[in-house]
């Protein structure tokens, strides 16, 4: 190998890595709301010409999308990869068989959810039920915290002060549900003491859910699960029958994540 070839080999990897990191910085800037080349360049510190070149390349491979007069947004390829990441995550792989068993036991739709501090809860998995009903949720979809059983389960450990703050934040956006603050806090205290949650037509009229938290090795709540059905199949007596089934599934998932249960 000539001296020139050796030098080229030594410098190629750092240059390639630099380009990769710059491309990721540009994607992150768009995710944070930058829409123009100027905004992205200012956010990342990358030169205007390099930003334009890399952004154009990212559009070609669908990591970014560009619309005239609207600018850049995240592309469909990132959405696809996001769903793959969810499916391959430890939580997803661990929880899936227990979710399937719970759905078979109850005949109802089962959800797995995680907390997104900025946007409430996000559904990370869903097993359809066998009832002649359709539950209008989807993997990747988001819902408020205060009016969903999975949302309430995710914040059971946070205590009254944090609960009140969460309720007030969602109430200001019209998302807290039909219960008054006092009634909601009283219900949360019961749920925290007993380790389950209900959604009694609070998020969607005619739809009821029973939820429970999932914990990791540190004992922290990292996810929640729920069984969802309509009022026709979920009167209060039926919901109470489902509580131990949901709690059992949540404990089994937690144990496989290293929690002491």
7 phi/psi in degrees, rounded to 5:
-65, -40
Please state which of the ranges 19-33, 119-133, 215-229, 235-249 shows the lowest mean pLDDT: 119-133
Q: CA separation (Å) from 81 to 89, 194, 239? A: 12, 38, 36
Distance, CA of 222 to CA of 216 (rounded, Å) = 6
Both tokens of 111, joined, read: 């959800």
Taking the model in full, what pTM does it have? 0.68
Task: Give the pLDDT band (50/70/90) at residue 251.
Answer: very high
Q: Which long-range contacts (CB under 8 A, 24 or more apart) does 40-47 make?
A: 40/72, 46/22
Q: Which long-range contacts (CB under 8 A, 24 or more apart) does 66-75 make?
A: 70/35, 71/35, 71/36, 72/30, 72/34, 72/35, 72/36, 72/40, 73/30, 73/35, 74/27, 74/30, 74/31
127-186, pLDDT tens digit by residue? 988 887 777 788 888 899 999 999 999 999 999 999 999 999 999 999 999 999 999 999
pLDDT over threshold 70, residue 4: no
Mean pLDDT in residue range 241-254: 97
* Residue 38 near residue 21 (C-beta atoms within 8 A): no
Fold annotation for 3-75? Arc Repressor Mutant, subunit A (1.10.10)
The residues spanned by each domain of the chain are 3-75, 89-256
- CATH code at 89-256: 3.30.450.40
pLDDT over threshold 50, residue 2: no
Cα angle 146-134-151, degrees, rounded to a multiple of 5: 15
């Amino acid at each position: 190998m000539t001296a020139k070839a050796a030098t080229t080999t030594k410098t190629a990897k750092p240059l390639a890595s630099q380009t990769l990191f710059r491309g990721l910085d540009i994607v992150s800037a768009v995710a944070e709301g930058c829409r123009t080349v100027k905004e992205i360049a200012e956010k990342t510190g990358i030169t205007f010409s390099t930003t334009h070149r890399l952004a154009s390349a990212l559009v070609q491979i669908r990591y970014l999308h560009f619309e005239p007069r609207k600018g850049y947004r995240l592309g469909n390829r990132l959405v696809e990869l996001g769903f793959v990441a969810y499916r391959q995550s430890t939580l997803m792989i661990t929880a899936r068989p227990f979710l399937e068993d719970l759905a078979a036991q109850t005949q109802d739709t089962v959800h797995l959810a995680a907390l997104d501090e900025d946007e409430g809860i996000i559904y990370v998995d869903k097993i359809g039920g066998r009832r002649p009903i359709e539950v209008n949720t989807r993997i990747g979809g988001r819902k408020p915290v205060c009016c969903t059983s999975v949302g309430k389960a995710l914040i059971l450990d946070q205590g009254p002060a944090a609960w009140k703050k969460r309720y007030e934040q969602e109430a200001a956006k019209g998302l807290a549900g039909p219960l008054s603050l006092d009634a909601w806090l009283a219900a949360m205290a019961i749920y925290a003491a007993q380790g389950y949650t209900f959604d009694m037509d609070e998020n969607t009229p005619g739809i009821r859910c029973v939820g429970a938290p999932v914990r990791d090795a540190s004992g922290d709540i990292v996810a929640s699960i729920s069984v969802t059905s309509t009022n026709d199949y979920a009167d209060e007596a039926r919901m109470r029958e489902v509580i131990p089934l949901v709690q059992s599934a949540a404990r089994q998932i937690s144990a496989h994540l290293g929690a002491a249960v």
